[in-house]
Chain A
Amino acid sequence: MSTVNTVVLGPQDRSRRTGWWGMVLLIVTEAMIFAALLSASFFVRANSASWPPAGIEPPDLGRIGVFTLVLLASSVPLFWGEAAIRRGQVGRLRVGLAVSWLLGAVFVINQVLEFHDLPFRATDDAYASLFIVITGLHGLHLVVGLAMSVVVQLKAALGWFDARRHETVTLFSMYWHFVDIVWLFVFASLYVSVRW
């Protein structure tokens, strides 16, 4: 009986397994959800006399600008930690995950506080509904990401990962980077573009 011709794979190739493809496709369909929501926002805006509606100030850019940087910064330690585990450095992975988690949590806390400071409620008009539901859905994705991070951190603490076996880390960081990038689109559409 012949043996199967097995190709020797590097660590990067091994991560392009079923899980990698599954996460890519999940991200595709999630991206479509945000694309649909942002398109909806532009569609309603294009059919409105003024945007935001008269009497509502566009959101302040200073505060959210700072926290946008915080959110983007949360991807950096994750890159660093993931690069470390590829060399088998579990300690650095744990640090990277923890710092990234903290930065993400800071952003979420600011979002919650900002919601309280908003001069409108989701039930006021279509503008308010769109703003709150889109930023809220993004925030929900972050909360899910933070929860996923806790699971990954627990696995890291228990010493499950090594240079070859860390698919969960790869998949989680793909998701986290995606949610970060989506924020740039949400930020550009709901905060920046309304000033023009």
Chain B
Amino acid sequence: MTAVVADHERIERAWRDRPGLLGFFTTVDHKRLGIRYIVTSFVFFFVAGLLALVMRAQLARPNGDVVSPDAYNQLFTMHGTLMIFLFNTPVLAGFGNYLVPLLIGARDMAFPRLNAFSYWIFVGAGVFVSASMVIGKAPDGGWFAYVPLTGKAASPGINLDFWGLGVIFVGISTTVGAVNFLVTAFKLRAPGMTVNRIPILVWSYVAMAFMILFAVPAITVSAALLEADRLFDTKFYVVEAGGNALLYQHLFWFWGHPEVYILFLPAVGMVTTIITTFARRPLAGYLWQVAALIGIAFISFGVWVHHMFATGLPTTAMGFFSAASFVIAIPSAVLYFSWIGTMWGGRVRFTAPMLFALGFLLIFLIGGITGVMVASLPFDLQVTDSYFVVAHFHYVLNGAVVFPIFGAIYYWMPKMTGRLLSDRLGRWSFWTMLVGFNVTFGPMHVLGELGMARRISTYGNGLGWDTLNMIVSLGSVVFAAGTLMTVVNVAGSLRHGNPAPADPWGADTLEWSIPSPAPEHNFTTIPVVGSRHPLWQLDEDGEAIDGPAGPGRRGTPITGGLDTVHEDELVVPQPTALPALAALGVLVFFVGLLISATVVLVLGGVIGLAGLVTWGWRTDVDRPEVAT
């Protein structure tokens, strides 16, 4: 017994971060980084939400004069940019960082330093893009920044450069994060976690990461060519010099549509996890869900032109993309039947996280149906660029992503902080958000059909839009109030929440087998997985998950083969400031590009390279001599 205790202390010592501020900049702990990712992206969520409230104040009445048309352009551009690039994508990366290693029984991600780098790049890109608002020159060409409007001729200011460079910048973070998720899920699963026992949430992150690897290069190229045109006077999109404006749209949407599913799939994984736990039975149709996730990931690469139906492409081509867009409804329906089947056969507990999951089912159903509507070419031509489209994509991107994220906060925060949230306040928050959401975005469908175009900064009276717009604006305040209730709940829980037990929900996945909050090394003994629901397997066949003692140093097992057997040990690197330094170099480099200052650019390049080379140099040193 004493030996085990001593072993435990030795592990804890090996995994401890440095104290204080130094520890903050040097940590490579996936849990600290994951939580920090979530907190940072929520800052952007609330900033972007405030921008939306200002827009709704402007549009509440006809002939609104809260902001000027120029400011309004900046508002809707930044709202979309912050929400998509700096909230939705990174917040899901944050949950993935925190959860994926815990769900597969690993002690860290496959590349812990790369993980830190990914986070610091995200922070750098966030600071970079937000700086535009501070100096009052925010991007104003819409969140998809179509040329020729965003070309140098039509938009000479620095505004759009913040957008173009920022998008490339944050793409680095997303890409290296995706590589990390995939290798982690491939090689660091606990012994026995064979392919057919991987939790759905991990599957959803695998599908998401694959999509990122194939989709993000397209937006990187589209934005890089835009910036080359703007900064270096190339002619990619300049029609008079043989360029092509539609090229931009193709490249952008080749990323843009998969991006919707990049955001949606992890949300699906969260909903499945929550529903399984609170229906208190194994998931119905596990293999079907996995197939649906992979199917959606594939098909989503064949639908991008449905964003371009109004650009006058050949009808045959549009017919193909329209058909492919309809096909996506099939795997989505498979997911629905799986969720319904799980609840049907279970005994549902209506806790706050479960309510958010159920709210998602309702909202995504509506968003999915309007999605099938706009996939139809003749209908789309009627409503394109109207508030109908605004309503549709908010049902999908806000409703179907934000509700699961709030559900995930209620579900996993006890594990992250070791304190329980108030379920009662959570239910209040849910109902307020659900009502606010539908009152905000429901009437927008009608406004679109009445002819209200998106992105107009105001409208005259007598068009029949006045009442609905007022309702929409009031709804947005209710929705905002609902989200604030969760903020209050989180703050209250941090101050005086009840301590959370290891498993407050009676859940099935491995993260609930360890104390709350999770210790720095996650698992003292490495779990051995014998079922899809490891914590329920005790009830199933009496098999305990406790495996052999894990490595007594900073290490985690590498597994492989069809049976997922132990192969080797991954040495987890020591805390280091190199990732933060390299990311700082990248930030300085991008600032140099932005202000066209070669000195700054070179300085950034030197800092970045110094960081990366030192990092590469240390990689072998970190490997123990005893590795063979």
From B111, B558, B566, A22 is in contact (CB under 8 Å) with B111
* A147-181 CB contacts (< 8 Å) to partner B: 147-148, 151, 155, 160, 164-165, 167-168
B611 CB → nearest A CB, Å: 14
Residues of A within 8 A of B183 (CB): 18, 21-22, 25
Complex contact B568–A9 (CB within 8 A): yes
**Contacts A4-B557, A18-B570, A22-B183; A168 near B620 (Cβ below 8 A):** yes
0 or 1 for each of A1-39: is its CB under 8 Å from B? (1 = yes): 111111101000110111001100110111011011100
From A28, A30, A44, B243 is in contact (CB under 8 Å) with A44
Name the residue on A nearest B616 (C-beta): A151
Q: Is A72 an interface residue (CB 8 A)?
A: no
Q: Is A125 an interface residue (CB 8 A)?
A: yes
**Contacts A32-B214, A48-B242; A123 near B548 (Cβ below 8 A):** no
A-contacting 9-mer, from B23-31, B244-252, B529-537:
B244-252
Q: Is B234 an interface residue (CB 8 A)?
A: yes
Q: Is B398 an interface residue (CB 8 A)?
A: no
Name the residue on B nearest A172 (C-beta): B616
Q: Is A183 an interface residue (CB 8 A)?
A: no
A-contacting 9-mer, from B218-226, B403-411, B434-442, B497-505:
B218-226
Complex contact B228–A44 (CB within 8 A): no
**Contacts A17-B558, A40-B225, A44-B242; A126 near B236 (Cβ below 8 A):** yes
Complex contact B217–A4 (CB within 8 A): no
Q: Is A58 an interface residue (CB 8 A)?
A: no
A30 to B220, CA, bound (A): 11
A4 to B561, CA, bound (A): 15
A166 CB → nearest B CB, Å: 9
A58 CB → nearest B CB, Å: 15
From B213, B216, B235, B623, A125 is in contact (CB under 8 Å) with B235
**Contacts A44-B242, A125-B241, A126-B242; A37 near B221 (Cβ below 8 A):** yes
A92 to B238, CA, bound (A): 52
Residues of B within 8 A of A123 (CB): 232-235
B585 CB → nearest A CB, Å: 15
Residues of A within 8 A of B526 (CB): 4
Interface size grouping (class) on chain B = 35 or more
B-contacting 9-mer, from A61-69, A78-86, A100-108, A127-135:
A127-135
Q: Is B77 an interface residue (CB 8 A)?
A: no
Residues of A within 8 A of B228 (CB): 129, 133
Residues of B within 8 A of A91 (CB): none
Name the residue on B nearest A166 (C-beta): B620
A105 CB → nearest B CB, Å: 18
Complex contact B548–A1 (CB within 8 A): yes
Residues of A within 8 A of B617 (CB): 151, 155
Interface size grouping (class) on chain A = 35 or more
Complex contact B236–A9 (CB within 8 A): no
A53 CB → nearest B CB, Å: 6
From A5, A29, A147, B566 is in contact (CB under 8 Å) with A5
Name the residue on A nearest B216 (C-beta): A29
Q: Is A196 an interface residue (CB 8 A)?
A: no
Complex contact B548–A129 (CB within 8 A): no
Complex contact B620–A47 (CB within 8 A): no
Name the residue on B nearest A130 (C-beta): B236
A148 to B613, CA, bound (A): 9
Q: Is B474 an interface residue (CB 8 A)?
A: no
Q: Is A60 an interface residue (CB 8 A)?
A: no
Residues of A within 8 A of B250 (CB): 43
Q: Is A117 an interface residue (CB 8 A)?
A: no
A6 to B241, CA, bound (A): 63
Complex contact A29–B234 (CB within 8 A): no
Q: Is B191 an interface residue (CB 8 A)?
A: yes
Complex contact A164–B241 (CB within 8 A): no
Residues of A within 8 A of B180 (CB): 22
**Contacts A14-B568, A44-B243; A165 near B623 (Cβ below 8 A):** yes
**Contacts A43-B250, A123-B235, A151-B617; A18 near B111 (Cβ below 8 A):** yes
Q: Is A76 an interface residue (CB 8 A)?
A: no
A90 CB → nearest B CB, Å: 14
Residues of B within 8 A of A32 (CB): 213-214, 217-218
Q: Is A122 an interface residue (CB 8 A)?
A: yes
Complex contact A7–B241 (CB within 8 A): no
From A3, A4, A36, B218 is in contact (CB under 8 Å) with A36
Complex contact B247–A44 (CB within 8 A): yes
Residues of B within 8 A of A155 (CB): 617, 620
From A2, A17, A33, A43, B247 is in contact (CB under 8 Å) with A43
Complex contact A44–B187 (CB within 8 A): no
Complex contact A22–B232 (CB within 8 A): no
Binding site for B on A (CB under 8 A): 1-7, 9, 13-14, 16-18, 21-22, 25-26, 28-30, 32-33, 35-37, 40, 43-44, 47-48, 53, 122-130, 133, 147-148, 151, 155, 160, 164-165, 167-168
Interchain Cβ contacts under 8 Å between A and B, 19 examples: A4-B526, A7-B565, A7-B567, A17-B558, A21-B187, A22-B114, A26-B179, A29-B175, A30-B217, A32-B214, A36-B221, A40-B225, A40-B251, A43-B250, A44-B244, A123-B235, A125-B235, A129-B235, A133-B236
Binding site for A on B (CB under 8 A): 110-111, 114, 175, 178-180, 182-183, 186-188, 191, 213-214, 216-218, 220-221, 225, 228, 232-236, 238, 241-244, 246-247, 250-251, 254, 526, 547-549, 557-558, 560-561, 565-568, 570, 613, 616-617, 619-620, 623, 627-628
